[in-house]
Amino acid sequence: MASRPPGPGPYRATKLWNEITKYFRAGMPLRKHRQHFRKHGSCFTAAEAVDWLHEVLRSNSNFGPEVTRQQTVQLLRKFLKNHVIEDIKGRWGSENLEDNGVLYRFPSTSPVKPLPSSCPLKENSENFSRDKEKPFKLTHLSRRTFKKHELLQALDNLEKAKPDKREENKEETLHRKEISEEYVQETWRNIILIHLQTILGLPSLEEVLQPTHIVPEYVIYNMTNTSKHGVVILQDKSEDLPHWVLSAMKCLAYWPRNNDMSQATYSGFERDVFRTVADYFLSLPEPLLTFEYYELFVNILDLLQPHLERIAVEALQICCLLLPPPNRRKLQLLMRMISRISENVDMPRLHDAMGTRSLMIQTFSRCVLCCAEEVDLDELLSTRLVSFLMDHQQEIFKVPTYLQVAVRDHIEYVKMAQCKYAEEEICAILPTYSYCKQITPQEFEEQKVSTSQAAVAELLENIIKDKNLSVKEKKKKLKQFQKEYPLIYQNRFPTTETEAMLFENKPTIKPPMLSLRKPRFHSLRY
Protein backbone atom coordinates (compact mmCIF):
# COMPACT_ATOMS: atom_id res chain seq x y z
CA MET A 1 0.00 0.00 0.00
CA ALA A 2 2.81 2.40 0.85
CA SER A 3 4.41 1.83 -2.54
CA ARG A 4 1.29 2.58 -4.56
CA PRO A 5 -0.42 5.67 -3.11
CA PRO A 6 -3.21 7.23 -5.16
CA GLY A 7 -1.94 9.88 -7.52
CA PRO A 8 -2.64 13.59 -7.13
CA GLY A 9 -5.74 15.08 -8.64
CA PRO A 10 -9.43 15.61 -7.87
CA TYR A 11 -11.33 13.40 -5.42
CA ARG A 12 -8.08 12.21 -3.88
CA ALA A 13 -9.77 11.43 -0.55
CA THR A 14 -12.21 9.07 -2.28
CA LYS A 15 -9.38 7.41 -4.21
CA LEU A 16 -7.43 6.97 -0.97
CA TRP A 17 -10.52 5.44 0.70
CA ASN A 18 -10.84 2.93 -2.16
CA GLU A 19 -7.15 2.10 -1.93
CA ILE A 20 -7.31 1.45 1.82
CA THR A 21 -10.48 -0.65 1.69
CA LYS A 22 -9.13 -2.82 -1.15
CA TYR A 23 -5.81 -3.27 0.68
CA PHE A 24 -7.62 -4.09 3.93
CA ARG A 25 -9.75 -6.77 2.24
CA ALA A 26 -6.72 -8.26 0.50
CA GLY A 27 -4.25 -8.16 3.40
CA MET A 28 -6.20 -8.62 6.64
CA PRO A 29 -5.39 -12.12 8.00
CA LEU A 30 -8.44 -14.40 8.26
CA ARG A 31 -8.70 -17.57 10.36
CA LYS A 32 -11.15 -19.78 12.23
CA HIS A 33 -12.63 -18.51 15.49
CA ARG A 34 -14.85 -20.16 18.10
CA GLN A 35 -17.67 -18.17 19.65
CA HIS A 36 -20.63 -19.41 21.69
CA PHE A 37 -19.67 -23.06 21.06
CA ARG A 38 -19.69 -22.51 17.29
CA LYS A 39 -16.82 -22.37 14.82
CA HIS A 40 -16.66 -19.55 12.26
CA GLY A 41 -14.22 -19.61 9.35
CA SER A 42 -12.54 -16.74 7.43
CA CYS A 43 -13.20 -14.05 10.03
CA PHE A 44 -11.35 -11.84 12.50
CA THR A 45 -11.94 -10.09 15.80
CA ALA A 46 -12.26 -6.32 16.11
CA ALA A 47 -9.06 -6.19 18.21
CA GLU A 48 -7.14 -8.10 15.53
CA ALA A 49 -8.38 -5.70 12.87
CA VAL A 50 -7.35 -2.71 14.99
CA ASP A 51 -3.85 -4.15 15.53
CA TRP A 52 -3.28 -4.88 11.85
CA LEU A 53 -4.82 -1.69 10.39
CA HIS A 54 -3.16 0.57 12.96
CA GLU A 55 0.28 -0.66 11.95
CA VAL A 56 -0.55 -0.20 8.25
CA LEU A 57 -1.74 3.38 8.72
CA ARG A 58 1.29 4.35 10.82
CA SER A 59 3.69 3.11 8.15
CA ASN A 60 1.81 4.77 5.28
CA SER A 61 3.20 8.11 4.04
CA ASN A 62 -0.30 9.57 3.66
CA PHE A 63 -1.04 9.27 7.39
CA GLY A 64 2.19 8.70 9.31
CA PRO A 65 3.08 7.66 12.87
CA GLU A 66 0.69 10.23 14.41
CA VAL A 67 -2.31 7.94 13.82
CA THR A 68 -3.70 6.74 17.16
CA ARG A 69 -5.36 3.46 18.01
CA GLN A 70 -8.63 5.27 18.72
CA GLN A 71 -8.59 6.79 15.23
CA THR A 72 -8.12 3.31 13.81
CA VAL A 73 -11.21 2.15 15.74
CA GLN A 74 -13.16 5.09 14.29
CA LEU A 75 -12.06 4.13 10.77
CA LEU A 76 -13.23 0.55 11.35
CA ARG A 77 -16.57 1.96 12.45
CA LYS A 78 -16.71 3.75 9.11
CA PHE A 79 -15.94 0.43 7.44
CA LEU A 80 -18.87 -1.15 9.26
CA LYS A 81 -21.18 1.74 8.37
CA ASN A 82 -20.26 1.57 4.67
CA HIS A 83 -20.45 -2.27 4.55
CA VAL A 84 -16.75 -2.80 4.01
CA ILE A 85 -17.09 -5.31 6.85
CA GLU A 86 -20.05 -6.92 8.63
CA ASP A 87 -20.47 -8.85 11.83
CA ILE A 88 -20.52 -12.62 11.83
CA LYS A 89 -24.33 -12.60 11.49
CA GLY A 90 -24.24 -10.32 8.43
CA ARG A 91 -25.32 -7.12 10.19
CA TRP A 92 -23.85 -3.72 9.28
CA GLY A 93 -24.74 -0.02 9.13
CA SER A 94 -24.32 0.87 12.81
CA GLU A 95 -21.17 2.33 14.34
CA ASN A 96 -21.01 0.23 17.50
CA LEU A 97 -17.67 -1.46 16.78
CA GLU A 98 -15.38 -1.56 19.80
CA ASP A 99 -11.79 -2.68 20.39
CA ASN A 100 -12.77 -6.14 21.63
CA GLY A 101 -13.18 -9.78 20.60
CA VAL A 102 -16.41 -9.47 18.56
CA LEU A 103 -16.14 -11.35 15.26
CA TYR A 104 -16.39 -9.69 11.84
CA ARG A 105 -16.03 -10.81 8.24
CA PHE A 106 -15.89 -9.38 4.72
CA PRO A 107 -19.10 -9.25 2.66
CA SER A 108 -19.19 -10.47 -0.93
CA THR A 109 -20.01 -7.00 -2.29
CA SER A 110 -17.29 -4.59 -3.39
CA PRO A 111 -16.51 -1.71 -1.00
CA VAL A 112 -15.20 0.60 -3.75
CA LYS A 113 -16.87 4.00 -3.86
CA PRO A 114 -17.64 5.42 -7.34
CA LEU A 115 -16.11 8.76 -8.25
CA PRO A 116 -18.57 11.57 -9.05
CA SER A 117 -19.55 11.58 -12.71
CA SER A 118 -19.65 15.37 -12.99
CA CYS A 119 -17.45 17.95 -11.41
CA PRO A 120 -18.73 21.50 -10.75
CA LEU A 121 -15.13 22.71 -10.62
CA LYS A 122 -14.61 21.70 -14.23
CA GLU A 123 -17.75 23.52 -15.39
CA ASN A 124 -16.72 26.69 -13.61
CA SER A 125 -13.23 26.45 -15.08
CA GLU A 126 -14.65 26.10 -18.60
CA ASN A 127 -16.82 29.16 -18.04
CA PHE A 128 -13.75 31.00 -16.83
CA SER A 129 -11.76 30.04 -19.93
CA ARG A 130 -14.54 31.36 -22.18
CA ASP A 131 -14.33 34.84 -20.70
CA LYS A 132 -12.86 36.89 -23.54
CA GLU A 133 -11.97 39.80 -21.31
CA LYS A 134 -9.27 37.83 -19.55
CA PRO A 135 -5.83 38.99 -20.70
CA PHE A 136 -4.17 35.58 -20.44
CA LYS A 137 -4.62 32.36 -22.41
CA LEU A 138 -2.70 29.24 -21.44
CA THR A 139 -1.57 27.40 -24.56
CA HIS A 140 0.70 24.40 -24.12
CA LEU A 141 1.66 25.15 -20.52
CA SER A 142 -1.51 23.72 -18.94
CA ARG A 143 -1.32 20.51 -20.93
CA ARG A 144 1.83 19.10 -19.48
CA THR A 145 3.49 18.35 -16.16
CA PHE A 146 6.04 21.02 -15.37
CA LYS A 147 9.58 20.46 -14.25
CA LYS A 148 11.39 23.04 -12.18
CA HIS A 149 14.33 23.49 -14.54
CA GLU A 150 11.99 23.91 -17.51
CA LEU A 151 10.11 26.72 -15.80
CA LEU A 152 13.34 28.47 -14.86
CA GLN A 153 14.63 28.07 -18.42
CA ALA A 154 11.43 29.57 -19.82
CA LEU A 155 11.69 32.55 -17.48
CA ASP A 156 15.37 32.94 -18.37
CA ASN A 157 14.60 33.02 -22.11
CA LEU A 158 11.92 35.60 -21.46
CA GLU A 159 14.39 37.79 -19.61
CA LYS A 160 16.87 37.59 -22.50
CA ALA A 161 14.20 38.70 -24.94
CA LYS A 162 13.36 41.86 -23.01
CA PRO A 163 14.34 45.14 -24.68
CA ASP A 164 17.04 47.26 -23.11
CA LYS A 165 15.49 49.88 -20.82
CA ARG A 166 18.33 52.33 -21.50
CA GLU A 167 17.32 52.60 -25.14
CA GLU A 168 13.81 53.83 -24.40
CA ASN A 169 13.46 57.54 -24.94
CA LYS A 170 11.20 59.99 -23.16
CA GLU A 171 8.59 60.08 -25.94
CA GLU A 172 8.01 56.32 -25.66
CA THR A 173 7.71 56.62 -21.86
CA LEU A 174 5.03 59.30 -22.16
CA HIS A 175 2.98 57.14 -24.52
CA ARG A 176 2.96 54.03 -22.37
CA LYS A 177 -0.52 52.69 -21.73
CA GLU A 178 -1.67 52.34 -18.15
CA ILE A 179 -1.96 48.75 -16.91
CA SER A 180 -5.45 48.21 -15.48
CA GLU A 181 -5.96 46.92 -11.95
CA GLU A 182 -7.89 43.98 -13.38
CA TYR A 183 -4.88 42.99 -15.48
CA VAL A 184 -2.56 43.20 -12.45
CA GLN A 185 -4.88 40.96 -10.44
CA GLU A 186 -5.11 38.49 -13.31
CA THR A 187 -1.31 38.44 -13.46
CA TRP A 188 -1.17 37.50 -9.79
CA ARG A 189 -3.76 34.78 -10.33
CA ASN A 190 -1.98 33.18 -13.28
CA ILE A 191 1.51 33.31 -11.80
CA ILE A 192 0.20 31.56 -8.67
CA LEU A 193 -1.53 28.93 -10.81
CA ILE A 194 1.66 28.27 -12.78
CA HIS A 195 3.78 27.87 -9.64
CA LEU A 196 1.26 25.57 -7.95
CA GLN A 197 0.90 23.46 -11.07
CA THR A 198 4.67 23.16 -11.24
CA ILE A 199 5.09 22.20 -7.57
CA LEU A 200 2.22 19.71 -7.43
CA GLY A 201 3.22 18.10 -10.73
CA LEU A 202 -0.34 18.12 -12.07
CA PRO A 203 -1.14 18.38 -15.80
CA SER A 204 -4.00 20.71 -14.88
CA LEU A 205 -5.47 22.37 -11.78
CA GLU A 206 -8.98 22.57 -13.21
CA GLU A 207 -10.59 20.14 -10.78
CA VAL A 208 -8.34 20.86 -7.80
CA LEU A 209 -8.51 24.65 -7.57
CA GLN A 210 -10.95 27.01 -9.24
CA PRO A 211 -9.23 30.14 -10.63
CA THR A 212 -12.00 32.28 -9.12
CA HIS A 213 -10.98 31.01 -5.66
CA ILE A 214 -7.66 32.84 -5.99
CA VAL A 215 -8.37 36.32 -4.65
CA PRO A 216 -5.36 38.55 -5.43
CA GLU A 217 -6.43 41.06 -2.76
CA TYR A 218 -6.04 38.36 -0.09
CA VAL A 219 -2.62 37.35 -1.39
CA ILE A 220 -1.30 40.92 -1.52
CA TYR A 221 -2.69 41.73 1.93
CA ASN A 222 -1.19 38.60 3.48
CA MET A 223 2.21 39.47 2.00
CA THR A 224 2.35 43.14 2.93
CA ASN A 225 0.39 43.66 6.18
CA THR A 226 2.46 41.69 8.68
CA SER A 227 4.10 42.29 12.03
CA LYS A 228 7.83 41.96 12.67
CA HIS A 229 7.17 38.29 13.47
CA GLY A 230 5.43 37.76 10.12
CA VAL A 231 1.87 37.51 11.54
CA VAL A 232 -0.92 39.18 9.56
CA ILE A 233 -2.22 42.41 11.10
CA LEU A 234 -5.96 42.94 10.56
CA GLN A 235 -7.38 46.40 9.97
CA ASP A 236 -10.85 45.28 11.03
CA LYS A 237 -10.45 44.17 14.65
CA SER A 238 -13.89 42.56 14.66
CA GLU A 239 -12.46 39.80 12.44
CA ASP A 240 -9.62 39.08 14.86
CA LEU A 241 -9.52 36.53 17.66
CA PRO A 242 -11.37 37.71 20.78
CA HIS A 243 -9.14 39.28 23.39
CA TRP A 244 -9.81 36.52 25.92
CA VAL A 245 -8.78 33.86 23.39
CA LEU A 246 -5.56 35.70 22.56
CA SER A 247 -4.76 36.01 26.27
CA ALA A 248 -5.42 32.33 26.83
CA MET A 249 -3.23 31.34 23.85
CA LYS A 250 -0.42 33.58 25.03
CA CYS A 251 -0.69 32.11 28.53
CA LEU A 252 -0.29 28.56 27.18
CA ALA A 253 2.41 29.40 24.64
CA TYR A 254 4.72 30.93 27.28
CA TRP A 255 3.71 28.80 30.27
CA PRO A 256 4.68 29.38 33.04
CA ARG A 257 6.90 32.41 32.34
CA ASN A 258 4.29 34.78 30.92
CA ASN A 259 0.93 34.23 32.58
CA ASP A 260 -1.02 37.44 32.05
CA MET A 261 -4.36 35.96 33.16
CA SER A 262 -5.94 38.20 35.78
CA GLN A 263 -7.20 35.40 38.02
CA ALA A 264 -4.89 33.35 40.22
CA THR A 265 -3.90 29.89 39.01
CA TYR A 266 -4.96 26.65 40.68
CA SER A 267 -4.40 22.94 40.21
CA GLY A 268 -5.60 22.04 36.75
CA PHE A 269 -5.74 25.71 35.69
CA GLU A 270 -3.74 25.08 32.49
CA ARG A 271 -6.20 22.34 31.44
CA ASP A 272 -9.14 24.72 31.77
CA VAL A 273 -7.31 27.39 29.75
CA PHE A 274 -6.51 24.84 27.04
CA ARG A 275 -10.14 23.69 26.90
CA THR A 276 -11.24 27.32 26.53
CA VAL A 277 -9.00 27.78 23.48
CA ALA A 278 -10.03 24.43 22.00
CA ASP A 279 -13.74 25.16 22.42
CA TYR A 280 -13.38 28.43 20.51
CA PHE A 281 -11.60 26.91 17.50
CA LEU A 282 -13.86 23.83 17.41
CA SER A 283 -16.94 26.09 17.36
CA LEU A 284 -15.88 27.92 14.18
CA PRO A 285 -18.46 27.46 11.38
CA GLU A 286 -15.77 26.59 8.82
CA PRO A 287 -12.27 25.07 9.02
CA LEU A 288 -9.39 27.54 8.92
CA LEU A 289 -8.27 26.21 5.51
CA THR A 290 -11.88 26.72 4.28
CA PHE A 291 -14.03 24.21 2.42
CA GLU A 292 -13.14 25.52 -1.05
CA TYR A 293 -9.44 24.67 -0.64
CA TYR A 294 -10.01 21.13 0.66
CA GLU A 295 -8.99 19.32 -2.55
CA LEU A 296 -5.93 21.56 -2.92
CA PHE A 297 -4.54 20.82 0.56
CA VAL A 298 -5.39 17.11 0.33
CA ASN A 299 -3.26 16.89 -2.83
CA ILE A 300 -0.31 18.37 -0.92
CA LEU A 301 -0.32 15.27 1.30
CA ASP A 302 1.65 13.49 -1.45
CA LEU A 303 4.55 15.84 -0.75
CA LEU A 304 4.69 15.29 3.04
CA GLN A 305 7.64 12.95 2.83
CA PRO A 306 11.22 13.44 4.07
CA HIS A 307 12.79 13.69 0.60
CA LEU A 308 10.07 16.13 -0.56
CA GLU A 309 10.01 18.30 2.54
CA ARG A 310 11.34 21.45 0.84
CA ILE A 311 8.80 21.18 -1.99
CA ALA A 312 5.96 20.63 0.49
CA VAL A 313 6.95 23.75 2.42
CA GLU A 314 6.99 25.79 -0.81
CA ALA A 315 3.56 24.48 -1.80
CA LEU A 316 2.08 25.29 1.60
CA GLN A 317 3.67 28.74 1.53
CA ILE A 318 1.68 29.62 -1.58
CA CYS A 319 -1.53 27.85 -0.55
CA CYS A 320 -1.66 29.58 2.84
CA LEU A 321 -1.38 32.94 1.06
CA LEU A 322 -4.71 32.21 -0.63
CA LEU A 323 -6.59 32.18 2.67
CA PRO A 324 -8.66 35.16 3.80
CA PRO A 325 -6.42 37.28 6.08
CA PRO A 326 -8.42 36.48 9.26
CA ASN A 327 -8.06 32.75 8.57
CA ARG A 328 -4.33 33.01 7.89
CA ARG A 329 -3.79 34.98 11.11
CA LYS A 330 -5.78 32.50 13.22
CA LEU A 331 -4.05 29.51 11.62
CA GLN A 332 -0.58 30.97 12.13
CA LEU A 333 -1.20 31.89 15.78
CA LEU A 334 -2.70 28.46 16.43
CA MET A 335 0.29 26.65 14.89
CA ARG A 336 2.72 28.82 16.86
CA MET A 337 0.86 28.04 20.09
CA ILE A 338 0.60 24.26 19.71
CA SER A 339 4.20 24.07 18.50
CA ARG A 340 5.46 25.83 21.61
CA ILE A 341 3.22 23.82 23.93
CA SER A 342 4.51 20.55 22.42
CA GLU A 343 8.12 21.61 22.96
CA ASN A 344 7.60 23.05 26.47
CA VAL A 345 9.05 20.63 29.01
CA ASP A 346 7.59 22.71 31.87
CA MET A 347 4.01 22.30 30.67
CA PRO A 348 2.06 19.90 32.93
CA ARG A 349 0.21 17.02 31.29
CA LEU A 350 -2.99 18.30 29.73
CA HIS A 351 -4.48 14.82 29.31
CA ASP A 352 -4.22 11.74 31.49
CA ALA A 353 -3.98 9.16 28.70
CA MET A 354 -2.41 11.11 25.81
CA GLY A 355 0.89 12.88 25.24
CA THR A 356 0.97 16.64 24.71
CA ARG A 357 1.91 16.51 21.03
CA SER A 358 -0.73 13.92 20.19
CA LEU A 359 -3.32 15.93 22.13
CA MET A 360 -2.53 19.08 20.14
CA ILE A 361 -2.86 17.29 16.81
CA GLN A 362 -5.99 15.32 17.68
CA THR A 363 -7.75 18.33 19.21
CA PHE A 364 -7.25 20.84 16.40
CA SER A 365 -7.05 18.69 13.25
CA ARG A 366 -10.72 18.96 12.28
CA CYS A 367 -10.87 22.72 12.82
CA VAL A 368 -7.96 23.09 10.37
CA LEU A 369 -9.00 20.78 7.49
CA CYS A 370 -12.25 19.01 6.70
CA CYS A 371 -14.63 18.64 3.77
CA ALA A 372 -18.02 20.35 3.48
CA GLU A 373 -19.53 16.90 2.92
CA GLU A 374 -18.43 14.27 5.39
CA VAL A 375 -15.47 12.26 4.10
CA ASP A 376 -14.55 9.03 5.84
CA LEU A 377 -10.82 9.82 5.98
CA ASP A 378 -11.10 13.48 7.00
CA GLU A 379 -9.64 13.06 10.46
CA LEU A 380 -6.70 10.93 9.36
CA LEU A 381 -5.83 13.26 6.48
CA SER A 382 -6.10 16.40 8.61
CA THR A 383 -3.96 14.81 11.34
CA ARG A 384 -1.12 14.27 8.87
CA LEU A 385 -1.34 17.83 7.56
CA VAL A 386 -1.56 19.49 10.99
CA SER A 387 1.48 17.53 12.17
CA PHE A 388 3.52 18.90 9.25
CA LEU A 389 2.17 22.45 9.70
CA MET A 390 3.11 22.40 13.36
CA ASP A 391 6.66 21.19 12.70
CA HIS A 392 7.36 23.68 9.88
CA GLN A 393 5.19 26.65 10.80
CA GLN A 394 8.08 29.15 10.74
CA GLU A 395 9.08 28.31 7.15
CA ILE A 396 5.51 27.87 5.84
CA PHE A 397 4.32 31.30 6.99
CA LYS A 398 7.28 33.17 5.53
CA VAL A 399 6.36 35.45 2.64
CA PRO A 400 7.62 34.05 -0.71
CA THR A 401 9.03 37.23 -2.23
CA TYR A 402 9.71 35.56 -5.58
CA LEU A 403 5.99 35.87 -6.39
CA GLN A 404 6.19 39.65 -6.03
CA VAL A 405 9.28 39.73 -8.23
CA ALA A 406 7.61 37.61 -10.92
CA VAL A 407 4.53 39.85 -11.02
CA ARG A 408 6.59 43.03 -11.06
CA ASP A 409 8.84 41.82 -13.87
CA HIS A 410 5.88 40.72 -15.97
CA ILE A 411 4.09 44.07 -15.58
CA GLU A 412 7.26 45.95 -16.53
CA TYR A 413 7.68 43.74 -19.58
CA VAL A 414 4.10 44.41 -20.68
CA LYS A 415 4.57 48.16 -20.31
CA MET A 416 7.67 48.12 -22.50
CA ALA A 417 6.08 45.83 -25.06
CA GLN A 418 3.11 48.17 -25.43
CA CYS A 419 5.44 50.92 -26.57
CA LYS A 420 7.33 48.88 -29.10
CA TYR A 421 4.82 46.53 -30.67
CA ALA A 422 1.37 46.81 -32.14
CA GLU A 423 -1.54 45.26 -30.26
CA GLU A 424 -1.78 42.24 -32.53
CA GLU A 425 1.93 41.54 -32.13
CA ILE A 426 1.69 41.68 -28.34
CA CYS A 427 -0.73 38.76 -28.35
CA ALA A 428 1.86 36.67 -30.20
CA ILE A 429 4.85 37.67 -28.04
CA LEU A 430 3.60 37.73 -24.46
CA PRO A 431 3.42 34.48 -22.48
CA THR A 432 -0.31 33.92 -22.02
CA TYR A 433 -2.12 31.46 -19.81
CA SER A 434 -5.62 30.01 -19.34
CA TYR A 435 -7.24 26.68 -18.76
CA CYS A 436 -8.02 24.45 -21.73
CA LYS A 437 -10.00 21.30 -22.35
CA GLN A 438 -8.27 17.96 -22.17
CA ILE A 439 -6.55 16.87 -25.37
CA THR A 440 -5.32 13.56 -26.71
CA PRO A 441 -1.69 12.47 -26.24
CA GLN A 442 -1.11 12.81 -30.02
CA GLU A 443 -2.37 16.40 -30.01
CA PHE A 444 -0.20 17.14 -27.00
CA GLU A 445 2.94 15.85 -28.73
CA GLU A 446 2.16 17.85 -31.88
CA GLN A 447 1.52 21.06 -29.94
CA LYS A 448 4.58 20.53 -27.77
CA VAL A 449 6.80 20.42 -30.85
CA SER A 450 5.10 23.31 -32.65
CA THR A 451 5.01 25.66 -29.66
CA SER A 452 8.61 24.91 -28.74
CA GLN A 453 9.80 25.60 -32.29
CA ALA A 454 7.78 28.80 -32.41
CA ALA A 455 9.40 30.01 -29.19
CA VAL A 456 12.89 29.24 -30.51
CA ALA A 457 12.11 30.96 -33.82
CA GLU A 458 10.94 34.00 -31.88
CA LEU A 459 14.25 34.06 -30.03
CA LEU A 460 16.07 34.07 -33.38
CA GLU A 461 14.01 37.05 -34.56
CA ASN A 462 14.85 38.93 -31.35
CA ILE A 463 18.56 38.42 -32.03
CA ILE A 464 18.16 39.63 -35.63
CA LYS A 465 16.18 42.75 -34.67
CA ASP A 466 18.30 43.70 -31.67
CA LYS A 467 19.88 47.03 -32.58
CA ASN A 468 21.99 47.12 -29.44
CA LEU A 469 24.23 44.29 -30.62
CA SER A 470 27.32 45.03 -32.60
CA VAL A 471 27.91 43.19 -35.87
CA LYS A 472 30.52 41.01 -34.23
CA GLU A 473 28.26 40.10 -31.30
CA LYS A 474 25.30 39.43 -33.57
CA LYS A 475 27.33 37.13 -35.82
CA LYS A 476 28.61 35.29 -32.78
CA LYS A 477 25.09 34.74 -31.42
CA LEU A 478 23.78 33.68 -34.83
CA LYS A 479 26.58 31.19 -35.22
CA GLN A 480 25.85 29.75 -31.80
CA PHE A 481 22.12 29.57 -32.64
CA GLN A 482 22.88 27.80 -35.94
CA LYS A 483 24.90 25.21 -34.06
CA GLU A 484 22.11 24.54 -31.52
CA TYR A 485 19.09 24.73 -33.86
CA PRO A 486 20.29 24.06 -37.44
CA LEU A 487 16.83 23.31 -38.90
CA ILE A 488 15.19 26.46 -37.57
CA TYR A 489 18.16 28.51 -38.69
CA GLN A 490 17.98 27.00 -42.19
CA ASN A 491 14.29 27.83 -42.46
CA ARG A 492 15.06 31.46 -41.66
CA PHE A 493 18.14 31.65 -43.90
CA PRO A 494 17.67 29.03 -46.65
CA THR A 495 20.63 30.34 -48.69
CA THR A 496 23.86 32.11 -47.96
CA GLU A 497 22.57 35.13 -49.91
CA THR A 498 19.68 35.63 -47.46
CA GLU A 499 22.12 35.48 -44.59
CA ALA A 500 24.47 37.95 -46.26
CA MET A 501 21.61 40.43 -46.83
CA LEU A 502 21.39 40.87 -43.07
CA PHE A 503 24.81 42.58 -43.03
CA GLU A 504 24.88 44.11 -46.52
CA ASN A 505 24.65 47.68 -45.23
CA LYS A 506 27.44 47.13 -42.75
CA PRO A 507 30.81 46.79 -44.59
CA THR A 508 33.19 44.70 -42.61
CA ILE A 509 36.54 45.66 -44.24
CA LYS A 510 37.76 48.78 -45.92
CA PRO A 511 38.34 48.73 -49.73
CA PRO A 512 41.99 48.28 -50.52
CA MET A 513 43.84 51.34 -51.69
CA LEU A 514 45.01 51.37 -55.31
CA SER A 515 48.68 50.64 -55.61
CA LEU A 516 50.48 53.05 -57.89
CA ARG A 517 53.17 51.56 -59.99
CA LYS A 518 56.31 53.61 -60.37
CA PRO A 519 56.79 54.88 -63.92
CA ARG A 520 59.64 53.41 -65.86
CA PHE A 521 62.12 55.83 -67.28
CA HIS A 522 64.07 54.85 -70.31
CA SER A 523 67.75 55.45 -70.15
CA LEU A 524 68.88 58.57 -72.01
CA ARG A 525 72.21 57.09 -72.58
CA TYR A 526 72.88 55.43 -75.87
Judgement on whether residues 460 and 314 belong to the same structural domain of the protein: no
Whether 417 is covered by a domain: the verdict is no
Entry pTM: 0.61
Q: How many C-beta atoms surround the C-beta of residue 522 within 10 A?
A: 5
CATH of the domain at 23: 1.10.10.10
For residue 148, being part of any structural domain is answered with: yes
Domain extent, residue 58, equals: 12-105
At residue 294, the 3 state secondary structure works out as helix
Give 107's strand partners: none
Is 407:188 a contact under the CB 8 Å cutoff?
Answer: yes
Q: What is the CA 363 to chain-centroid distance, rounded?
A: 26
Question: Within this chain, do residues 442 and 380 fall inside the same structural domain, yes or no?
Answer: no
For residue 260, what pLDDT is reported?
Answer: 53
Statement to judge: residues 129 and 216 lie in one domain: yes
Q: In what order do the strands lie in the sheet with 86-87?
A: 31-35, 38-45, 103-105, 86-87
Domains of the chain: total: 3
Whether residue 145 contacts residue 202, with contact meaning beta carbons closer than 8 Å, is answered with: yes
Same domain, 306 and 382: yes
Same domain, 334 and 226: yes
> Is 426 domain-assigned?
no
Same domain, 89 and 141: no
10-residue mean pLDDT series, the chain (526 residues) = 54 80 89 87 93 90 82 89 89 86 87 60 40 35 41 48 46 54 90 88 82 92 92 94 94 78 71 95 95 90 84 93 97 96 91 91 93 78 92 93 88 77 51 54 64 76 81 84 82 80 60 52 52
Please indicate, yes or no, if residue 113 is contained in any of the structural domains: no
Same domain, 278 and 160: yes
Rounded CA-CA distance 228/287 in Å is 26
pLDDT for res 170? 42
Would 354 be classed as within a structural domain? yes
Q: Does 429 fall in a domain?
A: no
> Maximum Cα–Cα distance for the chain, whole Å?
155
Q: Are residues 234 and 345 in the same domain?
A: yes
Please check whether residues 473 and 386 belong to one and the same domain: no
CATH number at residue 161: 1.10.555.10
How crowded is residue 305: how many other Cβ atoms within 10 Å of its Cβ?
15
Q: Do residues 238 and 273 both lie within one domain?
A: yes
Q: Are residues 53 and 200 in the same domain?
A: no
For residues 85 and 53, membership in a common domain is answered with: yes
**pLDDT number for residue 6:** 60
